[in-house]
Structure 1
């Protein structure tokens, strides 16, 4: 009876075993995830900063180079069926067939950036043996004078030598005596080399006296430039330059910038110059700010003049100092007077061409610029067919530049 009373008077729950306490961590799962993510980001940033890999993860191509004599034993000599082409990932390797023992130049083209790098294979062996081929120039496009080329870190670029200049050698044929006596018109079609179809239309549909200006971009601008020269077109190379609204309006990779040093811009200029061969001069591609900034523009003009090139200012920047800079270097210079297809309709293009004709009669020389729009090509082609009947001579840009200098 006593035990029963004690049980009844005891507080409820006193005889139940106590629950075991759960182990609690000093942080939550979300905090742990945040710490792990921070460690990963720190590790990644450290790798990016302190990694000394100059390629920075860019695609690479490795070529095993064998001595010329061993290569001849293992593989038959190449025939004259044209250039060999191999593709590996984002790279393309091109090389002209050569006889055994001669140096061979292979051009590596980065498919992501379009940058070219020339690698000479076998030159060392030939030099050791006193082989005359060691000093032989690399293969170039048809009609290109190898004396007017020199190697840069990006490939072959133009140079003046032995009294020869690219401006004179690659100027299109023209009756300059006739041009000196009558009004002349030159037309420059720019922005070529990127779209193969529109570039081909300009090459094939326009008369040879129309000058074609190529940008350095595109899969193979050199091949299209070679085709243009085969159709007797004179070609110029457009150099992308900084506009006032850069980078919102970006001319493309390797653009010359006023914020870069002269050496940095020169390195970029060499990249552009290596993209093709056989041009008589260079021209600005956009670049209203750059072409108006004397400290940035002067070194470019000096370098181009030293290499025997002319300079064409498309006339889009009223503040341009290109004319004065070219004059200080006794450099052939030309400037666009009228942009033909600012309004790309047949009516407005015809009106601009009539204005160009009037300017030629008044001043003796007029230079028009246009893009390779189908309507522009069609209207310009039709206009040039009867231009001679109206007493005006269509001439290449170099002829207009020389007439302007003499007058």
Structure 2
């Protein structure tokens, strides 16, 4: 009873254990996060402002290029006898002494250009000018080349013009007496597989047009010429929906001055050698703008080249400009693979034949799609049986001019 009375008489809460006080920080977790974020931003801003690298870490690559010397020791027979056949076959060829190549380096922040000569050998190491000319592709006449800031570009040499020298062989006497068709396969150089298919699967009379892009368009162009194909160089030009539809780097633009476009043209001209003429790559706006297009046509004519208009721009001023410059000119009549199905391609080829019979000359254009190459290749095998002659583009251009 006493314990019960004591419990009842005791003040409430006297015997209950006291709660421990929790440690409270003078700031919340969100405040801490905000302070840390602020410190990060201040550190980043300080690095960006006071960093000594003006390009902000722009990627750079340094390449050491060593020219082989005549005194280099050859490996002993015991070192080479175990080499595999594949290694021996695929070993890269050494550059000839004195051979050099110029690479243009572009500053990513300022746009400034700097030409760097590589492969100049000991003469470059000593600061001496290398006297050997740049390498030229097989079958190229050195007299028809001159050096530009980007490399070798076509030039007229006396009575010799690239259009005449690099035109593919054809029976022009026979072509003058019967209807002829020319086929131009464009967009080559980008994609070695499709370019090789066009080179190897199409007859030599089919003309191949190369864009200036790709890892090594010059090498593919050389292979095409080795298979007796005539080649043209496609020049990227501004379309109406530029820049949403962008042909690629160094595109000729109506917004640039004639000198700026000429500089870009020289870059394109230097990408390969041995072409008979130029062609537009896209460019519906540019080819229809006389102040922009006229200087390009005049320059091509001055360098002994022909010009091919693919016919995609109905407002093109190229025919009038080429006539004024007295240069060989051709224009595409039918785009063969607008609808890339066998049935539609065959229908377009039949229409091309009808045009050739009506006018005496017809030119079809196509891309290097597998279906296009397959159908064109099959069509050309029986074309002669129908009284029509397949000729290179240059032959069709000359026949159009004389008719």
TM-score by length of 1: 0.75
Query: Does the CA contact (< 8 Å) of 1:114 and 1:219 recur in 2?
Result: no
Q: 2:139 aligns with which of 136, 143, 152?
A: 143
Q: Secondary structure at the match of 2:84?
A: strand
CA distance in 2, matches of 1:7, 1:82: 107
CA distance 1:21–1:168, change in 2 (3 Å): farther
Q: Is the 1:137–1:146 Cα contact (8 Å) retained in structure 2?
A: no
Partner deviation per Cα, 1:15-66 (whole Å, 9 max, x = no partner):
9999999999999999999999999999999999999999896555556789
Report which stretch shifted further, 194-203 or 118-127.
Answer: 118-127
1:130-169: CA deviation from partner (whole Å, max 9, x where unpaired) = 99x9654211111111121222222221111222111111
Separation in structure 2 between the aligned mates of residue 266 and residue 22 of structure 1, nearest angstrom: 79
Alignment: residue pair count: 399
Q: Deviations over 1:322-347 (max 9, x none)?
A: 01101111111000001111111111
Does the CA contact (< 8 Å) of 2:287 and 2:317 recur in 1?
Answer: yes
Q: What does residue 118 of structure 2 align with?
A: 121
* Of 144-153 and 56-65, the range deviating more from structure 2: 56-65
Comparing 198-207 and 36-45, the one that deviates more:
36-45
Judge conservation of contact 2:99–2:134 (CA < 8 Å) in 1: no
Q: Which residue number corresponds to residue 343 of structure 1?
A: 339
C-alpha spacing 1:45/1:276, structure 2 compared with 1 (3 Å) = farther
Instruction: Provide Cα deviations, 1:183-229, integer angstroms capped at 9, x if missing partner.
Output: 10000001111111111111111100000011111111111111111
Against the structure 1 CA distance between its residues 299 and 306, is the aligned structure 2 distance closer, same or farther, given a 3 Å change threshold?
same
DSSP 3-state at the match of 1:141: coil
Give the whole-Å Cα distance in 1 for the aligned partners of 2:109 and 2:291: 32
Distance 2:237 2:23 in 1: 67
Q: Is 1:96 matched up with 2:91?
A: yes
Is the contact made by 2:55 and 2:109 (CA closer than 8 Å) also made in structure 1?
Answer: no
Distance 1:285 1:105, change over 3 A: closer
Contact kept? 1:116, 1:155, Cα under 8 Å: no
Q: How far apart are the structure 2 equivalents of 1:376 and 1:7? A: 105
Relative to structure 1, is the Cα distance of residues 65 and 14 closer, same or farther in structure 2, using a 3 angstrom cutoff? same
Change (3 A) 1:42 1:337: farther
- Structure 2 distance, partners of 1:79, 1:119, is 40
Check 1:61–1:178 CA distance in 2 against 1; reply closer, same or farther (3 A cut).
same
Q: Are the counterparts in 2 of residues 301 and 326 from structure 1 also a CA contact under 8 Å?
A: yes
In the alignment, the residues of structure 2 paired with residue 373 and residue 33 of structure 1 have an alpha-carbon distance, to the nearest angstrom, of 57
TM-score relative to the length of structure 2 = 0.76
Do 2:202 and 2:373's aligned partners in 1 also have CA atoms closer than 8 Å?
yes
Kindly indicate whether the alpha-carbon contact (under 8 Å) linking 2:104 and 2:150 is maintained by their aligned counterparts in 1: no
Contact 1:93/1:108 (CA < 8 Å) preserved in 2?
A: no
In the alignment, structure 1 segments of 5+ residues that lack a partner are none
User: Given that residues 192 and 213 in structure 1 are in contact (C-alpha distance below 8 angstroms), is that contact kept between their aligned partners in structure 2?
Assistant: yes
Distance 1:79-1:296 versus aligned 2 partners, 3 A rule: farther
Contact kept in structure 1, 2:334 and 2:363, CA below 8 Å: yes
Distance verdict in 2 for CA 1:326–1:73, change over 3 Å: same
- Describe the shift of the 1:103–1:234 C-alpha distance in structure 2 as closer, same or farther (beyond 3 A): closer
Alignment partners' CA distance in 2, 1:113 and 1:322 = 35
Secondary structure of the structure 1 residue equivalent to 2:262: helix
Sort the Cα spacing of 1:137 and 1:316 in 2 relative to 1 into closer, same or farther, 3 A.
same
RMSD: 6.3
1:241–1:257 contact (8 Å) kept in structure 2: yes
Give a deviation string over 1:230-261, Cα, whole Å, max 9, x none: 11111111111111111111111111110111
User: What is the SS of the residue equivalent to 1:123?
Assistant: coil
Cα 1:279–1:104, aligned 2, differ >3 Å: closer, same or farther?
A: closer
Instruction: Tell whether the 8 Å contact from 1:205 to 1:381 is kept in structure 2 after alignment.
Output: yes
Distance 1:357 1:315 in 2: 17
Which stretches of structure 1, 4 residues or longer, exceed 3 Å deviation after superposition? 1-66, 69-87, 92-99, 101-131, 133-136
Answer yes or no: is the 8 Å Cα contact 1:194–1:215 preserved in 2.
Answer: yes
Residue-by-residue CA offset, 1:91-136 (whole Å, 9 max, x unaligned) = x99999999x6767679899999999875569798799999x9654
* 8 A Cα contact 1:216 1:239, kept in partner: yes
Q: Which runs of 5+ in 2 are unaligned?
A: none
CA 1:38–1:130: 2 relative to 1, 3 Å? closer
Contact 2:99–2:133, Cα closer than 8 Å, also in 1: no
- Give the secondary-structure state (helix, strand or coil) at the position aligned to 1:186: strand
How much has 1:273 moved relative to structure 2? 1.1
Q: Which residue of 1 aligns with 2:209?
A: 213
Residue 261 to residue 105, structure 1, CA distance change in 2 (3 Å):
closer
